Structure 1
């Protein structure tokens, strides 16, 4: 049996199809009594509005575009989960794409979303990303998360430099004297800021830095490089938790005890950080909340009819102390 149509609802409520449409779509130019009658009729008939038709009336697609550097791994899964939970609570749909760290792919993805979304959530922390500001759709509210895009619109950023400083101070407080760093890729602005924080706070000359790429494999290679090159560091700050997992494995394979021989600090606090052996000390940025708050900021802009320029929200990483950095003895 075919579902009820808008025409059926209008007939049931004894109003015109135009009045039924305005009432269903929540527009203001309809009397309250008519609205109540139409909604009651729709409920009785179990009428389900057609999304495409509704968007023509309201000029809304009820869809949010989400552009991330990648969609692989726990970090991005948590970002998407935060966005999705907040979107579902508001009856919104998501259109998700990954740029794979390529600004040209980011441009193509944003252009493909044009006309299909009501607003954009963009995460593009790569150094070249400031160029993307020039092609952001002026007609769409845009919120950036942990990005290098100077769009002058809504933004949520992380104090990565401060996080790097906090990690080093903690390792020094644990009695570590030979510090090393496994960084993220040099073309990543967040990775560079974490490394800059590390270098500004470390007290030793020429600290050892290994450049990784945010994957477990590169963290594993970084630890192997430290093991093969002279005195082993007694404290390692790793620029993200995924690399810290790989670093832990390499140290374990070499018979190096964490934290007795080497104290280890990661960054992000992805869900698995609690379940490594030993559990990983890390800098928590609230990944889920980054996504959730980004979506909420974007919805507020949609409700207000446009994004108001502001300084943006800055998240301060929080040190989460677990066993991997408890280096002190006695």
Structure 2
């Protein structure tokens, strides 16, 4: 496990500065360049060690992985988060690092990067060999991009458009695994904090993988309680899964006449906000309420207590997205949908199930 001291040494700052950045201390005065260096270094170190230990378990792609031969191509990246939003979600920093690292190995030039601060200009996709689309994007946007640049690869999102390659983790199955484990450990009143885009359609409101799986798991057991589902909303999905949203939605769950005995957060940032709400209420974790989340960003292991979270291989998702892109450029004429495994990391925020 990487330590704060190791991160501090790599970046050239104090351990205290690293700790405050990783714990999202709003009172810390540090440049955005230094903040980004700390987050990216923490993310890179956190992923390198487990990958090295598990090399034999990684999927292989014969065409792309043969020798990382140089590929003559220019690609674009279309990200659903603005740079400042990415910085507060190190999971997506990992996805980007994976894309950039694999592109360097293939000598692929990243010609264009688009995000909410720099909206997609379709004319700038003309002549680009392929595009990696990161995160959630409306189908109409994907269809418009495909008319200009047919070679699209979806990273960390499946738009249910089978003609395009995609790589992601199965968050629905991961959610069911967490819920089964919490149930086995004796938790009976589980709350959920998540988010959704501003939509009029209720089906879309509850359509996100984790939320949908949460509802279906409870409905199958005849114990679904709508009041235990707390969803933040905004114009863009990427703005929902933040510390502040987790804090507000957790407060709404804690205000119930009968509060939950466990809270499942849609990502680690929301879990950090949930921690704050629980601690402000004078309650303990996990004595009064257990907390579980997704992603396993570097800060998760440094929280008090350390956060139980489903590790999603963000950096590997980025790497495989490039591998898929290279396969396409090398002539593959059918689509691939790759699902990477997740890994549950039980820590002190839950009374750990007996079978883990």
* C-alpha distance in 2 between matches for 1:190 and 1:179: 17
Structure 1 residue 144 corresponds to structure 2 residue 160: no
* TM, length-normalised to structure 2: 0.67
Alignment match of 1:249 (pick from 266, 276, 287): 276
Corresponding position of 1:296: 323
Unaligned runs of 5+ in 2: 1-70, 199-203, 233-239
CA contact (8 A) 1:263 1:327 kept: no
Alignment of 1:207-246 (within 5 A): 207=226, 208-212=228-232, 213-246=240-273
Q: 1:274 to 1:323 in 2, by over 3 A?
A: same
Structure 1 residue 92 corresponds to structure 2 residue 117: no
Deviation at 1:256, TM superposition (A): 1.2
* C-alpha distance in 1 between matches for 2:340 and 2:352: 28
Alignment of 1:127-276 (within 5 A): 128-129=138-139, 132-137=142-147, 140-145=150-155, 146-148=157-159, 150=161, 152-186=163-197, 192-202=208-218, 203=221, 204-207=223-226, 208-212=228-232, 213-276=240-303
CA contact (8 A) 2:300 2:307 kept: yes
Deviation at 1:184, TM superposition (A): 2.1
Structure 1 residue 114 corresponds to structure 2 residue 134: no
Q: 1:267 to 1:174 in 2, by over 3 A?
A: same
Deviates more, 1:284-293 or 1:155-164: 155-164
Corresponding position of 1:308: 333
Corresponding position of 1:32: none
Name the Cα RMSD after superposition.
2.7
SS in 2 for 1:313: strand
Runs of 4+ in 1 over 4 A off after TM superposition: 186-191
CA contact (8 A) 2:286 2:351 kept: yes
* C-alpha distance in 2 between matches for 1:226 and 1:200: 20
Deviation sequence 1:197-251 (CA, Å, 0-9, x none)? 1112234241411113101000010111112221221111111111111111111
Q: 1:150 to 1:224 in 2, by over 3 A?
A: same
* C-alpha distance in 1 between matches for 2:276 and 2:265: 13
Deviation at 1:138, TM superposition (A): 5.8
State the structure with more CA Rg.
Answer: 1
Q: 1:139 to 1:242 in 2, by over 3 A?
A: closer
CA contact (8 A) 1:130 1:149 kept: no
CA contact (8 A) 1:270 1:287 kept: no
Unaligned runs of 5+ in 1: 1-58
Structure 1 residue 318 corresponds to structure 2 residue 311: no
